[in-house]
Every structure is written in C-alpha cells, then in structure tokens.
C-alpha cells in the first residue's frame, strides 16, 4: 500500500501546475502593461496590445485580469511601472545574446543578468556590442558561432535555463549553432 494519500499527490501536482500558470500570467501581464503604455488602450488601433490580449486568452487568463492590466498601462489604476529593456551579452566561445526584458527595476535586472552570465563563462555587453549581429531579424542572426566543446555546450545550456527562469526575461536570442 502507498504511504501517501491520493489527495496529497493531487495537491502537489496542482500546486506545481498553478505555480507555472502564475509565472506565465505574470509575464503576460507585464507585456500587456507595456503594450498599452506604448500604443494606448484601444485594442483595435494597437496591434501589439491585440497580440498580447490573444496570448493572454491562449493562457486562459480571466477577462478581469486583462482589463486591469490595460487600465494599469493607461494610468487609470495605480501599480508598478514596467519598462521594456534590451540587454546584450556574450557567452562562451564568443557567441552573442540579445535578451528582451520587461522589468520594474532596471538595476536589479541588470545585476541578475550579469550574475547569470558571469557564473557561466559569459559577460554582459554594452549597448550596441551584440545588436549588430542580429540586425532587423532577431531570429536569424547575420552570422552564427559553432559550439566547440561539450563544456561550453553545458555552460550555454545553464545560461539559457537560468535566463528562462528569470521572471523579467521575456525572450532570448542567440547566434549559437550545434556542431554536428
């Protein structure tokens, strides 16, 4: 017989699922607020807000939460002031990262990113140091860097995982490709 009750197992699984959903909703709420600040609160005339609302609906976010985020972005409600920030960095083997963040505290975010990169053989770059590699199409960098060793591949995986776990990070672009 099992030493744990069925309810305890269900509760643990539900708590993990709820935690993931809450993290996803927080990221989407930040995107909604920033999109509203940039282009206004009218969904029909603001394409970035329209896309953010579609993402929120896909994540099954309640309508009230979406409306509150839009009101916060227009200034109708008090709340945290989020900004969209772009950071550039380099990893092992000289590959570049372009990190898009939405944050309420730039100083905290830059310190967290600097720590993540430096612990794993990388460093944070200055404005323009890596952006030229990505040009206008961030998904297709101008040139790619091959990973030369398994050590560097492990470090790169650690960097990407840590960046993904960071709440402020929305999207990460890199110019690495596997050597096969």
> What CATH number has the domain bearing residue 168?
3.30.70.980
Q: What is the DSSP string of 41-65?
A: S-TTT-HHHHHHHHHHHHTT--HHH
Q: What pLDDT shows up at residue 2?
A: 55
Q: What pLDDT shows up at residue 128?
A: 86
pTM of the model: 0.72
Dist CA 102 CA 37 (whole Å): 12
Shared-domain flag, residues 70 and 90: no
CATH number at residue 39: 1.10.10.200
Shared-domain flag, residues 165 and 134: yes
Which residue range forms the structural domain that includes residue 173? Answer: 83-177
For residue range 59-113, list pLDDT tens digits in order. Answer: 999 999 999 989 888 878 777 788 889 999 998 888 899 999 988 899 999 999 9
What's the CA angle centered on 77, arms 71 and 80, to 5 degrees? 100
Dist CA 138 CA 98 (whole Å): 8
User: Of 74, 93, 112, which residue sits at a domain end?
Assistant: 74
Q: What pLDDT shows up at residue 141?
A: 85
For residue range 1-53, list pLDDT tens digits in order. Answer: 455 688 888 888 898 888 888 888 888 988 898 889 888 888 889 999 999 99
Shared-domain flag, residues 139 and 171: yes
Is residue 1 a part of any domain in this protein?
A: no
Contact of 101 with 87, CB cutoff 8 Å: yes
User: Of 18, 47, 74, which residue sits at a domain end?
Assistant: 74
Q: Please report, to the nearest 10 degrees, the dihedral formed by the alpha carbons of residues 99, 26, 82, 137 taken in order.
A: 30
Shared-domain flag, residues 96 and 161: yes
Phi, psi angles (nearest 5°) of residue 24: -65, -45
Is residue 136 a part of any domain in this protein?
A: yes
Calculate mean pLDDT across residues 140-167.
Answer: 87
Dist CA 147 CA 98 (whole Å): 17
pLDDT at 180 over 80: no
Q: What pLDDT shows up at residue 179?
A: 57
Q: What pLDDT shows up at residue 148?
A: 81
For residue range 123-141, list pLDDT tens digits in order. Answer: 998 888 888 888 888 888 8
Is residue 2 a part of any domain in this protein?
A: no
Shared-domain flag, residues 89 and 52: no
User: What are the residues facing 101 on neighbouring strands?
Assistant: 85, 169
Dist CA 102 CA 16 (whole Å): 24
pLDDT at 178 over 70: no
Indicate the number of domains in the chain: 2
Shared-domain flag, residues 61 and 121: no
């Amino acid at each position: 017989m099992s030493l744990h009750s069925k309810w305890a197992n269900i509760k643990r699984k539900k708590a993990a699922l709820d935690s993931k959903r809450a993290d996803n909703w927080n990221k989407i709420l930040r995107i909604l607020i920033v999109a509203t600040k940039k282009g206004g609160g009218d969904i029909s005339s603001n394409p970035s807000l329209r896309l953010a609302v579609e993402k929120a609906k896909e994540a099954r976010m309640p309508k009230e939460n979406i409306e509150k985020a839009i009101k916060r972005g227009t200034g109708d409600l008090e709340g945290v002031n989020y900004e969209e920030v772009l950071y550039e960095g380099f990893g092992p083997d000289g590959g570049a990262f372009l990190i898009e963040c939405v944050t309420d505290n730039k100083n905290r975010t830059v310190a967290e990113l600097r720590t993540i990169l430096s612990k794993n053989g990388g460093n944070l770059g200055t404005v323009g140091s890596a952006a030229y590699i990505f040009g206008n199409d961030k998904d297709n960098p101008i040139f790619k860097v091959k990973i030369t060793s398994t050590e560097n591949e492990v470090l790169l995986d650690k960097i990407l995982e840590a960046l993904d776990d960071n709440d402020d990070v929305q999207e990460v672009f890199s110019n690495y490709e596997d050597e096969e």
